[in-house]
Structure 1
């Protein structure tokens, strides 16, 4: 019965229903589990809570955002996590430990969804605000060129703190304007192989809750209607061919 259903679907597309096929199929790139992203240049705090993004078709590299040491506190490479609202999480021990509360005091999270969350780490290894200073700069490298992705920036309350710095190796510096508490600002890009995102920024007063992102989406193209029709026609021809051979054997 299962084989019949598959064949019927192919026949339906091939014999005139191709116009009903969706133009694209979107799927989130955010891993649907909490944990620390395994960065290309930084070991995770707890291997048992590591998330390997290569399983999702991309890699992430942490970049220095305080390159001129202009902040009151000197920062090294930030860590990156997948988090969800309503759960407390702890990674590592000592001053470098990152601990997320059930409800974060700085960033308004989205309900019922997983999102990427930066954690600023000082040059001495100390996790700022216990890991709740959500500031970082990251490069995303995708295994193939993505037709289109959508990036949702959460709780961007300060102007020019967060945004897109680079796409496919080219500088763009597309920063976000300040929004209301709990706002979500989205950016959509086409034909993306890599991009650099700035998430938040220390405001020079030892604080700055940063920003989170979610809804990074990949849109996979499906065959054009003419191609789908051709595939359907081949399937039909193949079926008839099999039937003729069976008749011949009789």
Structure 2
């Protein structure tokens, strides 16, 4: 399939990675992320999604292949990569360690030696945006899973990165919190940000992504626009995924086709069109 065209911010080329215990997580994986896009990496649990994200963040080094940020190997980028790329781990407990939520969100700003007043203003601003302002004085270990996930996202966003790497960001979130996170990602992209997120939830992938990579057993088995990739039943079955709910409903109600709606909004539009056609035929 043809890759996304444009200015590539992150390039993963022929990367393989094996953990010390012998677990082979990635095998010859190549991924390109265009500036200002939202790219989804989907696949079943254990397909290599988290490992790929950590390689992009420079937290792991591949045994084979290369990872580049703005055309430069991430091993040589150093400080610029840490300043521009915000990473949110799958388990928020891996990045929450301070006595209070406020201190966790403020940690990165304090490391930059920003004035206390600016730190306070930026922490409060991002806390309001993510709906965690009421949690600022609480210890992180007393939060729910969804609350921890939002606070972990705040620790990344408060640094105003140009790139967000989000590992299963919608896990443990209520429908309302998921909708808010989707809005945050859309807004981040609107102002020029780039997002790469992993998810095994094809409905989230359908709603958010401009481009999608499908991983299976540590390999990229497909990539392309979501409207094509997520309508390929055979491909999805091999990757242990299902079609989006909107696609399933459309096929049940209207019929098949290579191009099917993958979003609820697209499904409603197609159904309205089908009903209008039926009405026209009935009155003819």
The question of a shared fold, defined as TM-score above 0.5 by the shorter chain, is answered with no
Flag the structure with higher helix content. 2
Q: Which has the larger radius of gyration?
A: 1
Flag the structure with higher strand content. 1
